[in-house]
Structure formats: structure tokens, C-alpha cells
Chain A
Amino acid sequence: MKPIMRFYAAKLRSKPELILSIFFVIIFAFLIIAPFFQMIYTSLTYQDYDLRLQRDAVKGAFTLFHYVRIFASDLTPALLVKPLLNSIAVGFGVTVLAMIIGAFFAWIFVRTDIPYKKFFQTVITIPYMIPSWVIALVWQLFFQNTRIGGTAGILQSTFGIPIPDWLSYGYVPIVITLGLHYYAYTFLMISGALRTIDSELEEAGSVAGLSRFKVLTKITFPLVLPALGSSFVLTFTRSMGTFGTPALLGLPVRFFTLPTQIYALINARNTGDAFVLALVLIVLALTAITVNNKIIGVRKSFVTMKGKGFRANPMALGKFKPVVVTILTVFLLLVIVFPIIMLILSTFIILPENYTLSNMTTHYWIGDSDPMISSGQRGVLRNPGILQALYNSIRLGVIAALVNAFLGLLIGYTVVKNRGTRIAKIIESVAFAPYVFPGIAFAAIYLSMFSKPIGPIPALYGTFSLIVLIVIVKNLPFSSRSGISAIMQIDQSLEESAITQGIPWLRRFRLIILPLSKSGFVSGMLLTFITSMRELSLVILLVTPKTGLLTTMIFAYKTQEQTQHVNGVTLMLLVVIILANVLIKVLSMKSPYKTIDIG
């Protein structure tokens, strides 16, 4: 062997960050890049579905057929224009609603002397934990009308108020229910930005003789404007690409957004067209991210955004205090407490309109099979299908949480240790790529990719492993981000001092890096657990009766209009998520962790 080869061989052997980067490049190429190109390839070739439409088509031959159909044919308005416009309209409406609510709360909590701050703040971010479509389910409990069939909602059945179609299905309810979910995101983002503004700047305004209103409009607002812009763009893309709520409230009246249109096409086995639409969605998301990075770039130039401590003098609400507290309380009751109570109540009621005790039963929870009720479905707690789904969901959540938190940390280590090199940039951006993949299209690709064995990997079609795998990959953007920031917080010299003392890598990782990044590791685990538990669009194509999850179970019961089971399983899901939160809180409080000021 040449000396230079010997040199690099020795170096590679002793540099785990190099070995790790090679490892990540290989598995990312296989699990992220290859599926993406498979998607493009499928959209450019004839598929089985097309053979019926095109007599001279040969399966697998190159064609622009799908692009012509989507972009320039009689079907363009139905397949592309309408869903696209609907998506944009939904995204816009949701974002405006979420921004108004979120910005108002952010200002109240960060800048005023509102009482019970901690309590209100915890409650107000609850929607962040629960699946966005739970509110849609509650909406239907109230506002569903009988036009589509099924049972009417409470307002119509109990109070006899006729519910017009526009309030029952379609655009308006989608925007309202999603807005009541996404305000939690905008709230967190805007309050984060508000916290970084030194209140001395506002005080300087007051001293200079500006009124409170002028301080707000002339000083505070321009300073948070970039943060507002950034949260607008992010909320817009997220709500535009969401699947559950438009599926529940839109599909029954054929109100399609891009994700539900993709779902409909894939269900019809028209994968070629579906993937073209998926690529449209990816391009939209990439554009939004580029815009967002531009905005954040502007934000960085604000000298006021410093990480150092500063004084934040809360503004006295004075006589408005009771008013604000009332608004908050009513909002929380209406949006969080009341819906959950109604969800609970609905699972004990046999006939929808009757709330007397005689109409109540525990059958839907613990009842045995009775052909007269719920097509003979057993009660939620005794139903083997549901219990299997509960087990599967928790198993999925736990495995994904562990694997993702660990992978995230390793990715963080690789990226940070190789910082400045091209390979670090590649790993960082490829790990983020699944963020822009529409869940259903991504699942469809995985389904076809893993339908036959690849090398040592057996066919994963219909297995639980495939679900676990795709959920892990889809969670990589978040876990790699949190892994990178966790590793960045560890001063480089802490590992280097272990290196110079001859402590080998595995020991360093286990005894120094892992304990020091524990808090990031734990919160990353919780986040992955929650997102995996509420995952719907990604797994809906992949589940079989044996591998069903709570979310897909809810969806299945929904299509059978078994309201009590839908709500029962939903409550079960909420309980698991809340318990996980509590568990993590308790565990991380016990940590005997000590910190020192380094440097």
C-alpha cells in the first residue's frame, strides 16, 4: 500500500465522525434520495393505471403523459388548479386566523402582567400536542348535518338548528379547526421572538414621550416583524400540506386540497399523476423555505436579537386585567375544555339527541359484542383490534423516539465535528429533506420500493417494520435539528480533553456526550413520540388489519360513521400523549445534572 493510502486508512480508522458521515451518506442515499428519484421516475413513465387510458402505452416506457394531463389537459382544472387554489386558500385562511390568536396571546404572555401565567401558558399550548384533526372531529360532533348521511351533530339534533352545508363541511370549518390548532405554533414562535427583544428599547420609547400605543406600533412591531413573517411562511406551508382535517371535513363534499387529491389519486392507483402533484407540493414547500431563510437572514441583522440576559418589564394591564383574563378563560373553555368534555360525553350516549341518564351506557367502553350496536363492535377497552392498535401505536412511538433521538444525536455529532466541510452540509440538508415530502406520496414510494427484497432486506410490504422505518425517516428533519443544536451546546474542548487523555470514542460518547446532551435527547424523544403517535397521512396506506394504529383506527371508524368508537379511540390517543408528557416531565426533573459556566 502506498504511504498516502496508509495515512488515510489510519486516519479513517481513528476518526468516528468520518466513518459516521460515510454511513449516513449511504443510508440517506438509500432511504431519502432514492425514493425521491423513484418518485420523479414514476412520474415520467407509464404505469399500469395508464395502460387503460392509452392504448399504445408500454409499461415503464418514458412519457410526459402525466405532466401533460396535470398541467395541460381538460383535467387540469379538476386535478391541479382547484386543489392548488383550495390548498392556498386554506393555508392563507388558517395562517391569518392562527397569527391573530397566536400574536395576541404571545404579547399578553410575554409583555404584560397577566396573572397565572404559567398555568395559562401550559394549557394554551395543549393543541400543539394533540393531532390537528381532533378538533375537526369535535367540530363534526356539533356542526355535522345530515346532507351527506350519518348522524347529525348536536346543534341540529338536539336544538333543531339547521346547519348550512358551508358550516358543516368544506372551506370554513377546515380553516377554523386548523386555525385553532396552528395558533399554538404561531404563539410559540412569536413569543420566542418577543422574548429576545430588550424591553429597554421600549422603555427608551416611553422615556422619549411615546404613548403605549405608539411604542407598540413604532418600536415593538417593527422589531418582531421578521419573526412574524417567518412564522407566517412556516404556518402557511404546514397547514397547506396537512391531510387529516381536509380529509375529514373536505372529502365528503369533494372539497379537494393537494394532499387529499394525492390521496384520492393513489387510492385509485393512479400513482403517476399523484407523484406529479406531490412534486408540485414539494416545489411549493421548497419555495416557502427559501423565502423563510431570506426573512431569517434579515432578522439576524437586527442588533437587538441577542442571547444575553436583559430586563423585561411587563406592562401593567390595569383595569383591562379582568377583561383579558375573561377572554382567555372563555377561549380555553371553548377550544380545549368543552370539546374534550363533549368527546367524553359522546362515548356514553346511545342515541345522539338524548342526554338523559337513561340514554347513557358504558357499552362503548366495556361492552361485549352486540349485533344491535355498532355493527357488533366490542367496547373500546375490550376490543382486540383497538387494543392491538394501542399496542402498535405505543410500540411505534417508543421505537421511533429511541431510534430518532439516537440518530439525531449521531447526525448532530457528525455534522458538528465535520463543520465547514461539504459532507457536513450534505448530511444536514438531506436529513432535512423528508420535511418537504408529502406523507402519502412518500408512503406510496416506500410501498413500491420495499415490495420485493432488496439485497439483505426482505420484502417489507405489509409489515410493521415498514411503518417504523418510514416514520423514523419522516421524523429525521426534527431529530437531526435538535441533535445538531444539542451537540453545538457542548463545548468542543469537553470532548477534546477526553481525546487527549486517550479515552476511546465509544466511552467518550457514552460518558460525556450522551449525558451532556441529555436534556436535548429527552425532549427530542418526547417530540418524536408525539408526532409518531399522531401520524396519519404517512401510515394510512401502509397499515394492515394486524399493524393498525390508533390514528388509522379512528379514520376507519370514521368512514363507518361509528361516532362513539371514533371518539373513544381519540380519547385513548389523547390520554397516551398526555401521559407521555407527564412521564417525561417527572423523569427530567429528577436529573442530578450540574452545569458550569464554560469559558
Chain B
Amino acid sequence: MNKIELSNITKLYGKVKAVDRLSLEIKEGEFLTLLGPSGCGKTTTLRMIAGLEEPTEGEIMAQNRVLISKSKGVYVPPEARNMGFMFQSYALWPHMNVVKNISLGLESQKLGKSEIDKRVKKVLGQVQMEGYGTRYPSELSGGQQQRVALARMIASETDIFLMDEPLSNLDALLRVDMRSELKHLHQTLHSTTVYVTHDQVEALTLSDRIVVMNNGIIMQLDTPEKIYHKPKNLFVARFVGSPPINLIKGTIKKNAPHPLSFVSADFSVDISDVDRVKNVKENQSLLLGVRAENVSIHTTKGEKNSIPFSVYAVLPSGSETIITAKRGVSEVMIKVPGFFSSRLDDNVEVVFDQKGILLFDEDTEQLLN
């Protein structure tokens, strides 16, 4: 019932295309994230679903009815769309206390006073804000304001939630806390949720599916796992993942020295066992992509297919350490668990895990394997 469908949505601001012929189906009860750099059209898309912006062309459907369509002559105003919306700034009304902030929208739904009181009490409990009802927003911390905004959204008992970077104003610790809060809430309420963020970790941790957008176009729509491990193109590969994916320029050659080798300026990598490598032609200009955790580092020689590198920098962060190593002009980042002690210019052996190797066409930027 709570499916949302966008078909062929275009949004122009003057001559600038914010969103370009975008089609998207959001399944009932799904947690879908719109992910992308600023200006990619993700917030515009979300605001069009809510009705706060109007698409220049295209059709939006939700809850089994058309919301906006010029060709069908339908325009449902945002007031009548019955969707919850959470703003980056929380948008709490500064001149009203917490209870009033939550109940104002309910009063417009023509609910009785006792029903309103009951709901306010219930949602304040759900976000663990009992006892704060008479406070004004200025008397609450950022995280508490966030919880009130969340309570206000769920109070209307709508089954579609739209969230526009709700966690970006919180400090790092609170953000982790609120993430689990949001995920828990979604799993209890089963509401269809569209979530906008530019933070890839947030997208990966929260979503059922992720839409990666750039310049108003969908670059990839997939599960977090696929987005991370099988990025369809260079844009997604680069945007998702921390540290950023290693990319090395080169071509493939047979029997030199491995049965099938990726040859770059400074070294060659065995790719004989890489998935679906048959799709790649010889002499095609390529970029080899491999995530830092799919590269291993050894201080002793004799590892199979190892390539000598020298240590450039070591960045420990407690649970893991990222090592940057160099060979000629090539540079790779390697992620190892725990600490790794090493000095500048130490010689190390680096091994690329074939299961993690991605091959991109340099011109089309598409994934080949």
C-alpha cells in the first residue's frame, strides 16, 4: 500500500537540471537511502515526494494514488499527502514547548483531546523523552531536539517517512546512537522510509537499498552489499568506502607473467581467478579497483604473487590501521585489523586478493567484471 513510485521525474531550476528523467520504485516498508554528493539532486527528489517542490515533468504516485501529474491533471498539495518529514534543522517551532510542537499537527487532524494526549505521551516514550514535555526547544540539547523532531514525525501515525539528512547536525558520538535509534524504530513501525544523506557509512548501516545519485541521475540502485562490493561504475566505487578504493591504471595481458595479468606502469597483478574476467578485452585501457581491506601486507618475503612496496605512511585508529605504500608512482592503501608497526620506507610485500578485484573501463567508467 505504501509503495512510492516516481516515473520520469525531471526538475529544472532555470536551465539547470537538478533531477533528470529519474524513475524509482520504493517498496512498501523499505528503508531506501538517496546517497550522493551535495547538489546531486537527492534532497530535491525527497522534497518532490513530499510535495515541497514540484517536478517540472513526470509523475509521482504513493499510497495507491497519483500525487502529481500534469498529464492526468492531478495536484495533491503537500498538506494532503500524509507523509512524515524530518528536516536537517529539525524545524522545531521555537515559540512552542515540546508537547505543543508534537500536538499542533495532530490538532489539524481533528483528533480528540484525549487521543492527542495519549499519542503525545506514547511518542515521547518511544524516543525516551518523557518528562521533557514543557521544555522549549532552546532548552534542549541537539540530540534531544532531534528526538522531539522524530517524535513529532511518528505521532501522526503515517506510514511514509521522509528524512532529509536528519543526523548531520549531531556530533559523531550522538550520530552513532541515533542511527541505531532510527533503525530500531523502522523495524518496529515497518513504515516506508526514504532517507537522504551524503554520509556513505550512514547509508550502508541503515538501508535496505541505496540509490547513489550524481548530477540528477541514478548511478546505481542496489543493496548496500552490492553497492559496496560491486559498484557499477567508477563514481559509485569512489564515492562509497573509507578509505577510498585503490585505483590503478593499466591493461591486461596473457601469460606475462601470470596466465592472465593486469600490467601497470610499476607492477603486474595476477587476475587469472578474478570473477567474469572474460568480459575484458586485451589492450583495453583499464582501471583496477581494489578496496583497502582486500589488500594484504607482509613483512616477510615468499608470499604467493606478492609485490614489493615501501611504506609511505602508517595511520593507526585503534581497531584498524591504514597503511599507505608506494612503488614507483603507484600508491595503495591497505587496511589491517589492530595495530601495525612499521617505519617510513620499510620494505613490505603487498598481495591483492583476487576476489576483491574490480576492473573498470577507463573511458566508459563502467564495471567490466
Query: Taking CB as reference atom, which chain A residue is nearest B94?
Result: A596
Query: Taking CB as reference atom, which chain A residue is nearest B142?
Result: A597
Given A6-B74, A499-B51, A503-B108: 6 more A-B contacts, CB < 8 Å: A15-B77, A496-B91, A498-B105, A512-B93, A594-B138, A596-B136
A interface residues with partner B (beta carbon < 8 Å)? 1-8, 10-11, 14-15, 491, 493-494, 496-504, 507, 511-512, 515-516, 593-599
Pick from B80-88, B201-209, B262-270, B331-339 the stretch touching chain A.
Answer: B80-88
CB distance from A417 to the nearest CB of B (A): 12
Pick from B33-41, B65-73, B120-128, B298-306 the stretch touching chain A.
Answer: B65-73
For residue B52, CB closer than 8 A to chain A, the reply is yes
In the complex the two chains form, is B73's CB within 8 Å of A502's CB? no
Q: Which 10 A-B pairs have the closest CB atoms?
A: A3-B73, A501-B105, A14-B77, A6-B73, A497-B91, A500-B85, A10-B75, A493-B91, A596-B138, A493-B87
In the complex the two chains form, is B93's CB within 8 Å of A494's CB? yes
CB distance from B77 to the nearest CB of A (A): 3
In the complex the two chains form, is B108's CB within 8 Å of A507's CB? yes
For residue B109, CB closer than 8 A to chain A, the reply is yes
Instruction: Say yes or no: A4-B70 contact (C-beta < 8 A), given A503-B108, A594-B138.
Output: yes
**List of A residues within 8 angstroms of B72 by Cβ:** 3
Instruction: Say yes or no: A599-B88 contact (C-beta < 8 A), given A594-B95, A594-B138.
Output: yes
Query: Taking CB as reference atom, which chain A residue is nearest B101?
Result: A497
Q: Choose one: B50, B108, B156; the contact of A504 (CB below 8 Å).
A: B108
CB distance from A485 to the nearest CB of B (A): 18
Number of A-B contacts (CB under 8 A): 114
Q: A181 to B47: give the CA distance in the assembly, Å.
A: 51
**List of B residues within 8 angstroms of A502 by Cβ:** 79-80, 82, 105, 108-109, 156
B interface residues with partner A (beta carbon < 8 Å)? 50-52, 54, 69-85, 87-95, 104-105, 108-109, 136-139, 145, 152, 156, 162, 169
Q: A507 to B83: give the CA distance in the assembly, Å.
A: 19
Q: A4 to B69: give the CA distance in the assembly, Å.
A: 9
In the complex the two chains form, is A501's CB within 8 Å of B77's CB? no
In the complex the two chains form, is A500's CB within 8 Å of B169's CB? no
**List of B residues within 8 angstroms of A2 by Cβ:** 73
- List 17 A-B pairs, Cβ < 8 Å: A2-B73, A4-B73, A10-B73, A11-B75, A493-B88, A497-B93, A498-B104, A500-B51, A500-B52, A500-B79, A501-B152, A504-B108, A515-B95, A596-B92, A596-B136, A598-B94, A599-B89
In the complex the two chains form, is A593's CB within 8 Å of B95's CB? yes
Q: Choose one: B69, B74, B95; the contact of A516 (CB below 8 Å).
A: B95
Instruction: Say yes or no: A503-B93 contact (C-beta < 8 A), given A493-B87, A497-B85, A594-B136.
Output: no
CB distance from A1 to the nearest CB of B (A): 8
Query: Taking CB as reference atom, which chain A residue is nearest B13?
Result: A420
Query: Taking CB as reference atom, which chain B residue is nearest A11?
Result: B75
In the complex the two chains form, is A14's CB within 8 Å of B75's CB? yes
Q: A3 to B73: give the CA distance in the assembly, Å.
A: 4
CB distance from A465 to the nearest CB of B (A): 36
In the complex the two chains form, is A7's CB within 8 Å of B74's CB? yes
Q: Of B80, B89, B169, which is in contact with the most chain A CB atoms at under 10 Å from its CB?
A: B89
Q: A431 to B90: give the CA distance in the assembly, Å.
A: 34
**List of A residues within 8 angstroms of B71 by Cβ:** 3-4
CB distance from B44 to the nearest CB of A (A): 14
Query: Taking CB as reference atom, which chain A residue is nearest B47?
Result: A496
**List of A residues within 8 angstroms of B85 by Cβ:** 496-497, 500
**List of A residues within 8 angstroms of B87 by Cβ:** 493, 496-497
Instruction: Say yes or no: A511-B83 contact (C-beta < 8 A), given A3-B70, A496-B91.
Output: no
**List of A residues within 8 angstroms of B81 by Cβ:** 500
Q: A2 to B72: give the CA distance in the assembly, Å.
A: 9
Q: A511 to B139: give the CA distance in the assembly, Å.
A: 20
**List of B residues within 8 angstroms of A511 by Cβ:** 104
**List of B residues within 8 angstroms of A494 by Cβ:** 91, 93
Q: A167 to B91: give the CA distance in the assembly, Å.
A: 62
Q: A1 to B88: give the CA distance in the assembly, Å.
A: 40
**List of B residues within 8 angstroms of A516 by Cβ:** 93-95
CB distance from B161 to the nearest CB of A (A): 11
Q: A595 to B136: give the CA distance in the assembly, Å.
A: 9
Q: Of B85, B94, B145, which is in contact with the most chain A CB atoms at under 10 Å from its CB?
A: B94
Q: A11 to B70: give the CA distance in the assembly, Å.
A: 11
**List of B residues within 8 angstroms of A1 by Cβ:** 73
**List of B residues within 8 angstroms of A10 by Cβ:** 73-77
In the complex the two chains form, is A595's CB within 8 Å of B138's CB? yes
Q: Choose one: A7, A501, A594, A595; the contact of B108 (CB below 8 Å).
A: A501
**List of A residues within 8 angstroms of B78 by Cβ:** 496, 499-500
In the complex the two chains form, is B79's CB within 8 Å of A595's CB? no
**List of A residues within 8 angstroms of B89 by Cβ:** 491, 493, 598-599
Q: A494 to B109: give the CA distance in the assembly, Å.
A: 19
Q: A514 to B87: give the CA distance in the assembly, Å.
A: 21
Q: A82 to B85: give the CA distance in the assembly, Å.
A: 66
**List of B residues within 8 angstroms of A498 by Cβ:** 93, 104-105
**List of A residues within 8 angstroms of B108 by Cβ:** 501-504, 507
CB distance from A555 to the nearest CB of B (A): 45
**List of A residues within 8 angstroms of B76 by Cβ:** 10
Q: A504 to B80: give the CA distance in the assembly, Å.
A: 9
Q: A6 to B70: give the CA distance in the assembly, Å.
A: 9
**List of A residues within 8 angstroms of B94 by Cβ:** 516, 594-596, 598
**List of A residues within 8 angstroms of B70 by Cβ:** 3-4, 7
**List of A residues within 8 angstroms of B109 by Cβ:** 502
Q: A444 to B238: give the CA distance in the assembly, Å.
A: 71
Query: Taking CB as reference atom, which chain A residue is nearest B81?
Result: A500
Q: A593 to B94: give the CA distance in the assembly, Å.
A: 8
Q: A500 to B161: give the CA distance in the assembly, Å.
A: 11
**List of A residues within 8 angstroms of B139 by Cβ:** 594
Query: Taking CB as reference atom, which chain B residue is nearest A500?
Result: B85
Q: Choose one: B54, B79, B137; the contact of A503 (CB below 8 Å).
A: B79
Q: A334 to B196: give the CA distance in the assembly, Å.
A: 65
Q: A190 to B95: give the CA distance in the assembly, Å.
A: 34
In the complex the two chains form, is A7's CB within 8 Å of B104's CB? no
Q: A494 to B52: give the CA distance in the assembly, Å.
A: 13
In the complex the two chains form, is B75's CB within 8 Å of A503's CB? no
CB distance from B164 to the nearest CB of A (A): 9
CB distance from B237 to the nearest CB of A (A): 32
CB distance from B179 to the nearest CB of A (A): 21
Q: A515 to B104: give the CA distance in the assembly, Å.
A: 14
**List of A residues within 8 angstroms of B84 by Cβ:** 500
Instruction: Say yes or no: A503-B73 contact (C-beta < 8 A), given A496-B85, A512-B93.
Output: no
Q: Of B51, B52, B75, which is in contact with the most chain A CB atoms at under 10 Å from its CB?
A: B75
Q: Of B85, B88, B95, which is in contact with the most chain A CB atoms at under 10 Å from its CB?
A: B95
In the complex the two chains form, is A503's CB within 8 Å of B95's CB? no
Q: Choose one: B51, B75, B137, B169; the contact of A599 (CB below 8 Å).
A: B169
Q: A68 to B334: give the CA distance in the assembly, Å.
A: 88
CB distance from B191 to the nearest CB of A (A): 14
In the complex the two chains form, is A499's CB within 8 Å of B52's CB? yes
CB distance from A486 to the nearest CB of B (A): 14
Q: A8 to B71: give the CA distance in the assembly, Å.
A: 11
Q: A598 to B142: give the CA distance in the assembly, Å.
A: 10
CB distance from B140 to the nearest CB of A (A): 8
**List of A residues within 8 angstroms of B105 by Cβ:** 498, 501-503
Q: A191 to B50: give the CA distance in the assembly, Å.
A: 45
**List of B residues within 8 angstroms of A497 by Cβ:** 85, 87, 91, 93, 152
Query: Taking CB as reference atom, which chain B residue is nearest A501?
Result: B105
Q: Of B92, B104, B152, B156, which is in contact with the most chain A CB atoms at under 10 Å from its CB?
A: B104
Query: Taking CB as reference atom, which chain A residue is nearest B169?
Result: A599
